[in-house]
Structure formats: C-alpha cells, structure tokens
Amino acid sequence: MADSAPAQAHSGQSHAGRPTSWLAVTVILLGFTIGGIALVMGPNWFLFWTGAGVIAVGGVLALVFDIFSDVIEDAPRTIAIQEHHSPFERHTDSV
C-alpha cells in the first residue's frame, strides 16, 4: 500500500491560490459570461466585445498579480507495483 500521507506544499503555500489570483480568474469568467450571454441574445455585438474587453482586463490583472507564481509542485508519488491478472491475459504455463 502506498503512503497515504499528503505531500507537503513548498514554502508553506497551499493549492488554493491567493485571493488576488482568484480575483483575476473571476474577472475573466465574468467576461466569458458576458460574451456568452451576448451571443445568445441575438447576437449583441456591443455586449460581446464588452465581454471580450473584460476578459482582456482580467488577463492584465493576472499578469500584474503574477498568477503563475501560485503553481506548487508536489514531490512525485511512488506507488508500489501490484501483481494483476486479467481474465484476458494469455498464460504460457503448460499444465
């Protein structure tokens, strides 16, 4: 059985990210929602491009807030290899 203890995050960070990063993601999702609603409503091109502008603002926020620094690399897991026999497996043992 593999070790069930969770891997420790580097430098005390968690996988949840920072609030500023979530703000940037929320702005981007809001822009996609505005653009999607605009396409369903006709399409309403002014509202669509407004949504695209909100997405661009969210992208700039993501760059300013350095959203990619939230990435945490865990130590690789090692899982013990278990013997497995499939009913479709061809056995070469002669009886």
Query: For the segment 36-78, what is each residue's pLDDT rounded down to a tens digit?
Result: 999 999 899 999 999 999 999 999 999 999 998 888 777 888 8
Contacts of 78 (CB under 8 A, 6+ apart): 2
Query: For the segment 7-19, what is each residue's pLDDT rounded down to a tens digit?
Result: 444 455 567 788 9
3-state secondary structure of 92: coil
**The pLDDT value given to residue 33:** 97
Rounded Cα distance, 70 and 6, in Å: 19
Q: State pTM to two decimals.
A: 0.63
Domain residue limits, the chain: 18-69
Give Cα 82 to chain centroid, integer Å: 30
- What are the distances in angstroms from CA 10 to CA 14, 15, 72, 76? 8, 10, 7, 13
